[in-house]
Amino acid sequence: MIWQPLNLTEVCPTYTPITACSSFGYVYLNLLVQLYGGSRDERPHRDYREPEDIRDEYDFIVVGAGSAGCVVANRLSDNPSWKVLLLEAGPEQPDVTLVPGLSTALLGSNIDWAYTTEPNGKSCLAHPGGRCPWPRGKVMGGSSSINSMAYIRGNRADYDGWAALGNEGWSYRDVLPFFKKSERNVNIEALNSVYHGVTGEQYVSRYPYIDKPSLMLTDAFNERGLPLTDFNGAQQLGTMQAQAFSLSGERVSTNTAFIQPIRYKRKNLTVKPNSEALKILIDENKRAYGIIYNENGNILTAFAKKEVIVSAGSINSPKLLMLSGIGPRDHLEKIGIPVVQDLAVGENLHDHVTFNGVIVALSNKTATTVSEEEVLEAVQDYAAMKIKRGPLSGNGPVNSIAFIKTDPDLIAPDVQFQVDHVPNWREFLEDPITGESVSIFPTGFYDAVLPRTMNIVPKSRGALLLNESNPNGPPILYANYFSDESDLIPLLKGVRFLLSLEDTEAFRSNGAYFVREPLPACRDHVWGTDDYYICLARSYTSTSYHPVGTCKMGPAWDEKAVLDNQLRVYGVCGLRVIDASIMPFVNRGNTNAPALMIGERGVDFVMKYWREHNEPYCSY
C-alpha cells in the first residue's frame, strides 16, 4: 500500500475524550487503507519503462510535482523536441486523496511533510511546545493532492500590487489569461468568459453534495449583508458555496489534471516519484546544470541542458536553494555550505494567520452526525459507487466561504471566513488540540462547525533556515505569527461580524448557536470579550495552509528579491523558481489557484525565452 495514515498511537495522548483516538479510530483507518491505500497510477503501467536517457540528460529538470510543477512539466513537454524530467520526493498519488470527504484524514499521513513551526511566545501557545503544525503535500500533485480544494484566486488588487512593486507582467490584467488558461469550469460561472476558462486541463466545479449546515452558513452571511458573488469574478466581497478543484465528486489534483493524461504517452517526459532532489549542480560560471537526487535510496545525477526549474513549494524550494549555496551568506557559512550567491532566500515567510475555537453548535435536526457503523458504511459505499454521490463526494462545510472588509475604506477584503467541521463539539471543547490533529473522520459528519476568521493581509513576517545540525532534514520555520500585533485587529473585527450571524433567520430556524464555554487555555477570560478572542488567537493559532514568499520575486534594486520578474534566480544562470514561494506578498484568498497561475505565467516566460535563444539567461 502506498498510503499510510497518521499514527494514532503517536498522536493521541493517554487520556483524551476524542473518539478518533479510541479503538474505532484504528478500525476506521484500517478500512481506509484497505479501500483507498493503493494508487490508480501504479496498477495499469507496471511494465511501462519511462524514456530514460542513458546519460540522464534532459533539456529541463523540474523539481517538485506539486500545484505549479505539474503545470510546468506539462507545458514544457508539449514541445516534443524538449526532454523533460519531473522529480517528486513523494510517492504516487494514493486513491484516498481522490475522496473529497476524506481530505482531513490525509494530514499527518505519509504523504504530508508534516512540518512544525518554531515557538515565538506570541502564538501557537496551546500547541505542544508552542509549535503549530504546517502540513504540505509530499506526493504526486503536491499540496493540491492533500488540500481542501477551494477554488479561490484572490483579489485584483493583489496582482496589481505585485506589479506596482516593479514586477512587470504580473498585474491582474497580465495574469487573468493564465488563470483562465488552465481552467475547465463546468458550472454556471463558466458562462462568464471574461473571468473563466472552459478548455483548460484543470476541472473546477461545485461538489455534487452540499449539506444543510453549509447552506445555512452562506444564507447567514448573505442575511448579514454580504452579496452572493463569484469570488473569482468581478467582485470578491460577498459569500457563496465556493467551487472546488474537483469533478463529479472527486478531487482533481494537478497530477490528475496535468500529468496523468500525458504520462506514459509523451515520450519526452520522464516522471520520477520517490525522488528527492538534494542539490542543484552549479558550475564555476554560476550556471545550473543538473540535480543530485535520491531515488528510493540511490543517489543519482541528472543533467539539464537548458534550465533547472525548482517547484518544490514555499518550504522546500528555499531549502534546496540553500543546500546548493544560494541563500544568506552568514547562514550558509555558519553551516559550512560554500556560497554561490548571497540572496535573501527563506526570508519574507508569511501565511494567513487564523485560529480555532469559535464553535457553532447545530441542533439535532441540522447536525449531520451518524453512528460509527454508518461512517464505515459511507466509506465503503463511496468506494463502490460508479457515480460519486453522498457525503463523501463533498467536503463538509469547508466551502462555505465569505470575504468581508472590516473597514469600509479598504480597497479590498481583509478577512476571509472558511469553516471546518467538528465531529463532536463536546469532545472538542475538552481537548481541542487533539481534536484538530486527529481529524480523520469524513468531513460530512458533524454536530458543530468551526468558522475560522483568516487575516488575509498579514503584516507579520518570519523566516526559514536550514537546520544547522541536519541541513537535509526539516528546515527551521519561524512562522512568527503576531510579531506584528496589528495582525490581531482584523481577526477581532472579523470575529465580531461572525458572532452577529447568531441573529440571522438562517441560524435561528436551524437552532444554531455559539457555544459559550471557553476553551481550556482561555478559561481565565470571559467568553465573548476581546481578551477572550485574543487568547484564542494566541493559544489556538492555526495556519490557513498558505505559507508563501520565501523566494520572493522583485526588481533588481530590491535587496530582498531572490528572483526577477521572469522568476530567474538573481546571479545564477539557467535556474528559476516557479511556485507559491515567489509571491512578494500573499494574495487575499487561498493559494492553490494562484500557484497554478504562477506555473502557467512562469513557464510561459521559459517557453518564450527558449524560442528565441540558445543559451540560458544570466542576470549578472
Ligand X SMILES: Cc1cc2nc3c(=O)[nH]c(=O)nc-3n(C[C@H](O)[C@H](O)[C@H](O)COP(=O)(O)OP(=O)(O)OC[C@H]3O[C@@H](n4cnc5c(N)ncnc54)[C@H](O)[C@@H]3O)c2cc1C
CA 285 vs CA 105, 150, 277, 289, 327: distances in Å: 47, 44, 22, 11, 17
Residue 421: active-site member: no
Among 2, 8, 87, 288, binds ligand X (CB under 6 A): 87
Cα angle, residue 391 at apex, residues 385 and 392 outer, rounded to 5°? 60
Does residue number 116 form part of the binding site for ligand X (CB under 6 A)? no
Question: What is the nearest approach in angstroms of ligand X to the Cβ of residue 376?
Answer: 24
Question: What is the nearest approach in angstroms of ligand X to the Cβ of residue 144?
Answer: 5
Among 59, 88, 95, 219, binds ligand X (CB under 6 A): 88
Does residue number 323 form part of the binding site for ligand X (CB under 6 A)? no
Residues 6 or more apart whose Cβ sits within 8 Å of residue 183 = 196, 197, 198, 200, 202, 204
Does residue number 149 form part of the binding site for ligand X (CB under 6 A)? yes
Q: Which three cell numbers stand for residue 557?
A: 534594486
CB 394 within 8 A of CB 208: yes
Per 3-state DSSP, what percentage of the chain is helix, strand, and coil (rounded to 5)?
Answer: 30, 20, 50
- SS3 at position 281: strand
Beta strands in 311-413 (DSSP E): 326-327, 341-342, 347-349, 353-355, 360-361, 400-404
User: For residue 310, what is the DSSP state?
Assistant: E
Question: What is the nearest approach in angstroms of ligand X to the Cβ of residue 448?
Answer: 20
Query: Which stretch, 8-16, 86-94, 216-224, 562-570, contacts ligand X (CB under 6 A)?
Result: 86-94
HSE on the CB side for 251, CA within 13 Å? 27
Q: Measured between alpha carbons, how far is 550 from 11 in angstroms, rounded to an integer?
A: 30
Which one is catalytic: 127, 196, 352, 546?
A: 546
Among 152, 375, 448, 603, binds ligand X (CB under 6 A): 152
Q: Which residue is nearest to ligand X (CB)?
A: 66
Question: What is the nearest approach in angstroms of ligand X to the Cβ of residue 227?
Answer: 22
Does residue number 501 form part of the binding site for ligand X (CB under 6 A)? no
Q: Which three cell numbers stand for residue 468?
A: 544547522
Query: Which stretch, 31-39, 224-232, 329-337, 589-597, contacts ligand X (CB under 6 A)?
Result: 589-597
Query: Which stretch, 133-141, 199-207, 341-349, 521-529, contacts ligand X (CB under 6 A)?
Result: 133-141
x-or-dash pattern for ligand X, window 275-314, by CB under 6 A? Answer: -xx---------------------------------xxxx
User: For residue 124, what is the DSSP state?
Assistant: -
Q: Considering only residues 543-562, where is the footprint of ligand X by CB under 6 A?
A: 545-546
Q: Which three cell numbers stand for residue 332?
A: 550558509
Say which amino acid occupies 293.
Answer: Y
Residues in the chain: 620
Among 240, 340, 593, 606, binds ligand X (CB under 6 A): 593
Question: What is the nearest approach in angstroms of ligand X to the Cβ of residue 484?
Answer: 22
Residues 6 or more apart whose Cβ sits within 8 Å of residue 173 = none
Question: What is the nearest approach in angstroms of ligand X to the Cβ of residue 258?
Answer: 11
Residues 6 or more apart whose Cβ sits within 8 Å of residue 240 = 218, 228, 229, 230, 231, 401
Complex with ligand X: residue 151 or 570, whichever CB lies closer: 151
Does residue number 94 form part of the binding site for ligand X (CB under 6 A)? no
Q: Considering only residues 41-80, where is the footprint of ligand X by CB under 6 A?
A: 63-69
Question: What is the nearest approach in angstroms of ligand X to the Cβ of residue 527?
Answer: 29
Among 268, 316, 542, 566, binds ligand X (CB under 6 A): 316
Residues that bind ligand X (CB under 6 A): 63-69, 87-90, 107, 135-138, 142-144, 146-150, 152, 276-277, 311-314, 316, 320, 545-546, 579-580, 590-593, 595
Which residues are tagged catalytic? 546
